[in-house]
Amino acid sequence: MTSSSSGRPEQLDPIQGVLEILDRASMTGTNKLGLLLTLLDLVPTVDDQSPTIPLDAVAERYLEIHWEHARPYDGVTLRQSSVRKQRVDGTIADDTTVMQEIQQLRESLKSRTLGDLRDKPLGVVERRVEETGWHSAWRSELGAALASVRAALLKNPVRLLQKLPGDPEPFLYNLNSDKSGLTLLPGVAQSLTKFGGVLRPLVEFRFAQAVMRINREKLQLPVDDVYSHLFGRGRVMPPPEMRTRLVRIQGRRCIYTGTRLSDGLESLDHVVPWSRARLSQIENFVMTSRSVNSSKSDTLLAPSAMERWLEHVERRSDDLQECAHDHGWMTGLDRVRDVALHIYRAADITTGVWSSEDGVEPLGNAGKKQMLHLLQPEE
């Protein structure tokens, strides 16, 4: 790390800063890594002209990410902190605040005979609870959990994430004076959005390593198994009956190619790739053939393919909303479009994009302009 003429370390580039955190930051648990994942999820929706992320939004996404981690692995709940702290009442806290709060919420679901929801994505839990007489009580309990998580974020990872040997200047964000949000430093939102697909698996793998280390006394776990348990996409994928419904909504044809989908050979695709953004809204799913899904993989869509998807979700909006309601699933076309818009805005013109006609080709200047026009919200 180089120093400026004043003797202070020069400000790190945000990508270098994240890599320095992964390599050199002091960690007794997963708090800092969880905050990094939260930032990677939220930055694609940040306006460069007003680059502040409300701390409430940070707490909400932080809790959503960790909700999936509370599922027992081989009958054992995996801890995320190696430190045990004594509470005011004399009891011992043996896990991070967010995991303690989530376990209480899971027990609350079980006590109300909704235990089958505990291993569902939090968005699905909220949709299902809305249809019960317990919705108001659930919102109150969830609000209390979020308040606790918000306070814990301020105490630890928000304050300590950028603390590295050599004491560099902040390189990702500054905490607002009223502690209401994180203001990203210039260029941070664009950099993290642009390179999120590369940074995310690095952060997740380091997260899995930390969990494996913390729980090594309970289980001898291969890191790949822990990674899959914590971050495997299967846990937030629609159930088979919902996929069948999506095929029917599409008229049994592939959105990208128009070809008929063969029974039993359909494949679920994320329109905005899972490696780029964790979007599980129903609008981000389309059913394709296995060969098309393999060809597209985690590549961004080209303008022609994006146009077909937009036409589909707008034309079949009512059907998709009804399907999501019937299966208690999440919706949010505006969020999917907004994230996609920011991803393409940050993309280089050399970025590869996929269409069924041309395979993978560079986005190009004309392609980027077309994508931004397609995704821009209507006035």
Contact 121, 236 (CB under 8 A): yes
pLDDT computed for residue 5 by the predictor:
47
pLDDT computed for residue 110 by the predictor:
93
Q: Where are the domains of the chain?
A: 14-233, 238-375
Q: What is the dihedral sign for C-alpha 193, 198, 201, 204? A: negative
Q: Cα separation of 55 and 195, whole Å?
A: 23
Inter-axis angle of helices 188-214 and 223-231, nearest 10: 130
pLDDT computed for residue 196 by the predictor:
93
Name the token pair of 165. Answer: 């040997």
From 48, 70, 69, 45, select the one nearest 57 (Cα to Cα). 45
pLDDT computed for residue 285 by the predictor:
96
Helices (H) and strands (E) in the chain, counts: 15, 10
Dihedral angle over CA of 227, 59, 178, 144, nearest 10: -140
Residue with tokens 């050399």: 350
Three-state DSSP at 155 gives helix
pLDDT computed for residue 7 by the predictor:
52
Q: What is the pLDDT of residues 79-113, one digit of tens each?
A: 999 887 755 555 667 789 999 999 999 999 999 98
pLDDT computed for residue 282 by the predictor:
96
Q: What is the pLDDT of residues 156-180, one digit of tens each?
A: 999 999 999 889 999 999 999 999 9
Name the stretches of the chain with pLDDT < 70. 1-10, 86-92, 221, 378-379
Amino acid of residue 346: A
Q: What is the pTM of this model?
A: 0.90
Q: What is the pLDDT of residues 337-356, one digit of tens each?
A: 999 999 999 999 999 999 99
Buried b or exposed e, range 10-48, using 16+ CB within 10 angstroms: eebebbebbebbbeebebebbbbbbbbbbbbbbbbbbee
